Amino acid sequence: MWRWLHPYAKGEASYRLLGRWLPWLTGSAVLTMMVGLIWGLFYAPPDYQQGDSYRIIYIHVPAAIFSMGTYTAMAIAALIALVWQIRTAEWAIAAIAPVGAVLTFIALFTGAVWGKPMWGTWWEWDARLTSQLILLFLYLGVIALYHAFSDSRTGAKAAGILALVGVVNVPIIHYSVYWWNTLHQGATITKFEKPSMATSMLIPLLICLLGFALMTAAFICQRLRNEILRQELHRDWAQQELN
Amino acid sequence: MIKASTWQVVKTLMRRDLKVALRRRSDIINPLLFVLMVVSLFPLAVGPGPDVLGRIAAGVIWVTALLAALLGSERLFRDDYLDGSLEQMILLPVPLPVLALAKIAIHWLLSGLPLVILAPLAALLLKLPVEGWSTLLLTLLLGTPILSALTAIGAALTVSLGRGGALLSLLLLPLFIPLLIFAAAAVEGALVGAPVVGQVVLLAGLMVLTLTLAPLAVAGAIRVSVN
């Protein structure tokens, strides 16, 4: 396995590999997203309790799930970068963080939009909302630290350490926020009880989940390619690629 | 060639740090004054009535403690970085995490412990009901080592950046949140007469966890920063 993996520690090889993956990822992402969203937004039956406004779930839930998933991916990249000193993994941190931050923001934003008609307020100090907000701060911290250094290598390593510290903290923060919420305010809002979803609603949600996964992968792929190109600008192959 | 044991090195390092810090007392005193100032701003802002103040006292003291920890964090590694001692520490035949733990311990002695000692005064100013006092002190005693350890991570990451003030708060404040939640909940529980053992034990667990893992992160961060 190592013999197979080893070439991809070099910028050029991983650039080409990602370039081969990218069209497939993008194509399948667009396709599944379109199927999932059109099915979810137009053809899935309305909810008996929430009517049509529940449909935002088809964007909200995938974004929320993958906002945490990308953090894990970033932490794994950070671990690889710090332990094996593989530069591609260092660049992956920089490539993944903004994508994760945007997903977190989408989850927060759609959550707020959903909360307005359902709970009657844009923002509720609900446990999930709060821990999502903190996750956004963690992402922003990683991005800010990465860009704070003039030497991008140091920046990537520092951001990697922060990502690892963060990933230890994410579960602690998550559960402490849950616990805080139940302690402080109890059920002041009639939070919508999640009904076990009907299959006709669940299938488009699963397709949307797949679509979001592919889309996230495609974005990370493209960003990583750009980052590799930017960092290897002084190399011959990068110059040839650009001309 | 003189061979020094790990313990001797740690003792020397701590003694040196103490000496340096005690020669620049304003670095120790200023964060404490900051705490007192902020605490005395609150009655002016929300009114001096004991019902409002007593309700928010524990939270205010804890938030102030977090901000004070950020304020005093730069001196943790800055001077050592500038005069090259940090590089020497990496080169010592002593595990770097052990030295990091020593730095954290000294930082706690000089910033955390004074804060715990100052806390009754702050509680008095904010009219915290007497039932909450012992719990507040206990949470501060358990929580300030966590603050020192997490601050050390942030300080080590940003030490080569020159001015890392605003960045440091962005990095560290999210990590402080669990601490704030448990500590505030414990004091609030004490005020209504509920048992607080659970929160206190959780805080103690967090402290042990942080003090175990943070030195590793600090050591990694120092290596990256010194490069």
Which residue in chain A has the smallest CA separation from B157? A158
pLDDT tens series, chain B, 227 aa: 566 788 888 888 899 988 888 888 888 888 889 999 999 998 888 888 878 888 888 889 999 999 888 887 888 888 888 888 888 888 888 889 999 999 999 999 988 899 999 999 998 888 888 888 889 999 999 999 999 999 999 999 888 887 767 888 888 888 898 888 888 888 888 888 888 888 889 899 999 999 999 999 999 999 988 87
Look at the alpha carbons of B128, B133, B139, B141 in this order and tell me if their dihedral is positive or negative.
positive
Sequence spans of domains, chain A: 20-43+56-188+201-231
Q: Searching chain A, which residue's CA lies closest to the CA of residue B227?
A: A154
What whole-number distance in Å separates Cα of residue A115 and Cα of residue A123?
Answer: 7
Q: Could you tell me which residues of chain A have a Cβ less than 8 Å from any Cβ in chain B? A: 82, 134, 137-138, 140-141, 144-145, 148-149, 151, 154, 157-158, 161-162, 164-166, 168-169, 172-173, 176-177, 179-180, 183-184
Start-end of H helices in chain A: 2-5, 11-38, 57-84, 87-119, 127-148, 152-184, 199-231, 236-242
Determine the distance from the C-alpha atom of residue A88 to the mean position of all C-alpha atoms in its chain, rounded to a whole number.
19
End-to-end alpha-carbon separation of chain B, Å? 27
What's the pLDDT at A190?
41
Cα angle A75, A62, A89; round to 5: 25
The whole-angstrom distance between residue B88's C-alpha and the CA centroid of its chain comes to: 25
Q: Which residue has the tokens 């120092």?
A: B222
A22: CB partners within 8 A, 6+ apart = A218, A221, A222, A225
Tokens 């902020």 map to which residue?
B38
Q: Which residues of B147-166 are buried (b: 16+ CB within 10 A; e: fewer)?
A: bbbbbbbbbbbbbbbeebee
Query: CA-CA distance, A201 to A184, in Å (whole number)?
Result: 34
Q: According to the 3-state scheme, what is the secondary structure of B107-139?
A: HHHHHHHHHHHHHHHHHHHCCCCHHHHHHHHHH
Q: What is chain A's mean pLDDT, rounded?
A: 82
Residue-level pLDDT at A181: 67
Least Cα separation, residue A103 to chain B (angstroms): 18
- Band of residue A182 on the pLDDT scale cut at 50, 70, 90: low
Which of A241 and A39 is assigned the larger pLDDT?
A: A39
Which residues on chain B are in Cβ contact (under 8 Å) with A168? 213
Residue A31 has pLDDT above 60, yes or no: yes
Q: How many CB pairs under 8 A join A and B?
A: 71
- Contact yes or no for B227 and A154 at CB 8 A: yes
Distance from CA of B170 to the nearest CA of A (A): 6
What is the sign of the dihedral through the CA atoms of B95, B97, B100 and B101? Answer: negative
* Segment A113-166, tens digit of pLDDT: 887 777 777 777 777 778 888 899 999 999 998 888 888 888 888 999 999 998
More confident residue, A200 or A217: A217
Position A186 scores a pLDDT of 44
Q: Domains of chain B: which residue ranges?
A: 21-226
The sign of the CA dihedral B80, B83, B89, B90 is positive
Nearest to A149 among B161, B170, B171 (CB): B161
Q: Which residue of B has its CA nearest to A137?
A: B174
CB contact under 8 Å between B177 and A177, yes or no, is yes
Please give the pLDDT value at position A200.
76
* Distance of residue B180 Cα from the nearest chain A Cα, in angstroms: 10
Can you tell me the distance from the alpha carbon of A53 to that of A60, in angstroms, rounded to the nearest whole number? 12
**pLDDT cut 70: percent of chain A above it:** 89
Minimal-distance CA residue of chain B relative to A172: B178
Task: Please write the tens of the pLDDT for every residue from A67-87.
Answer: 888 999 999 999 988 888 888
Instruction: For residues A168-180, give the mean pLDDT.
Output: 79
